[in-house]
Amino acid sequence: MRLAGARAAPYALRLRAPLGALGGPGGAAAAERTGWIVRLEDDQGHTGYGEAAPLWGHSPESPAQLAAALKGFVAKAPGARFDELEALFTAASEWEGAPMGSFVFALEMAWLGLEARRRGTIPARVLSDRVHPRVPVAAFLGAPGEAEPALEPGGVLKVKVGRAPTQAEGQALCALASRLPEGARLRLDANRSLSLAEATLLFSALDPARVDFVEEPLQDPADATRLYEATGHAIALDETLLEPGRHGLLAAAGVQVWVLKPARLGGVLAALGWIEAAGRAGRKAVVSSTYESGLGLEFLAQLQALANAEPVAAGLGTGRLFEEDLAEAPPAGAALDPGRWTGRPSAAWLARVGWGPG
């Protein structure tokens, strides 16, 4: 497959409420989600789209570095031949020198979309013959007390915690758990905000049967097994995956889930490596977003469709935070069908950037 052209354009999407995780100016909460869309086109007219959406202030790359890498790629890509995803990864590394996760992820996402169109299939089936036909999705709640999304029986609700006094937050979580539909469970993400004592107090009041797992609960992840033994709650690790010096914790007692954010881990190939490693280690792999648009969320569902022996809810419920989106019909609901992948921005957005249909 030879590339006939490549383009890149920035986007800015309004959020329903400012979000601190996006790294606004001066540390303020951001009112927009910003990033870049990459478009690849082959010599047969097939197209593929990728999204580069680093979390400014959290991701290693800066806006200027990403813009420069994309500009260089657009200039060098036409005429290049990529018959394998690995070849594209190698080229991306050479173009950038020290490849940025969001840059590599966008190129790999675009290549897989293009290759899927060439084959008349979906990206997941380009990568594997074993694809789950249904991808459950965890709904998202910024914090206890906010307006709660609708949740179906047996569903999963991810909640950010560690943002209020421990006792009051524990009471709010118990009340929230009591309102869950039958069989529904909570995922509690503390972003390493709690001491062992605080986490033990907060989670001990909750029935482990109502909690799917607690994600990065501790300021010191080395205390994960002690928290598990004290509370009975399964532990999920996310940021810890990025710290090679702590990889011994991934097999610790109580650590049952690895949360995978492909753009932070280094791209699609890197995420697939983690998915395979999780299976070998007997851990669950949960593909999660870094607040990508609906275009990115739809693609991330393709990766979750490859993970685990049985379907596990993906961390892709953040689309409800967007007031506007790139996708014509942003993915929503308690589950996604990988077979209904569309893989392109809306016609309105394509027209806005002057790309035309494709």
Q: Tell me: do 201 and 301 sit in the same domain.
A: yes
Domain-located, residue 43:
yes
Q: Tell me: do 175 and 274 sit in the same domain.
A: yes
Domain-located, residue 358:
no
158 is catalytic: no
Q: Tell me: do 33 and 108 sit in the same domain.
A: yes
Q: Tell me: do 201 and 271 sit in the same domain.
A: yes
Q: Tell me: do 190 and 320 sit in the same domain.
A: yes
pLDDT of residue 25: 66
Q: Tell me: do 203 and 320 sit in the same domain.
A: yes
Q: Which two tokens stand for residue 195?
A: 């001491």
pLDDT of residue 98: 58
Q: Catalytic one among 76, 158, 160, 284?
A: 160
Mean pLDDT of the chain: 92
Q: What is the residue range of 33's domain?
A: 3-121+347-352
Q: Tell me: do 169 and 83 sit in the same domain.
A: no
pLDDT of residue 310: 96
Q: Tell me: do 167 and 112 sit in the same domain.
A: no
Q: Tell me: do 213 and 303 sit in the same domain.
A: yes
Divide the 358 residues of the chain into consecutive groups of 10 and give the mean pLDDT of each group.
90 91 74 95 94 87 88 85 74 65 93 96 97 97 90 95 93 95 97 97 95 98 97 97 93 97 94 97 97 97 97 96 92 93 95 90
Indicate which CATH number applies to the domain containing 263.
3.20.20.120
261 is catalytic: yes
Q: Catalytic one among 71, 76, 158, 261?
A: 261
pLDDT in tens, 214-235: 999 999 999 999 999 999 999 9
Q: Which two tokens stand for residue 315?
A: 């961390």
The values of phi and psi at residue 120, to 5°, are: 70, 40
Structurally, the chain folds into a number of domains equal to 2
Domain-located, residue 335:
yes
pLDDT of residue 27: 67
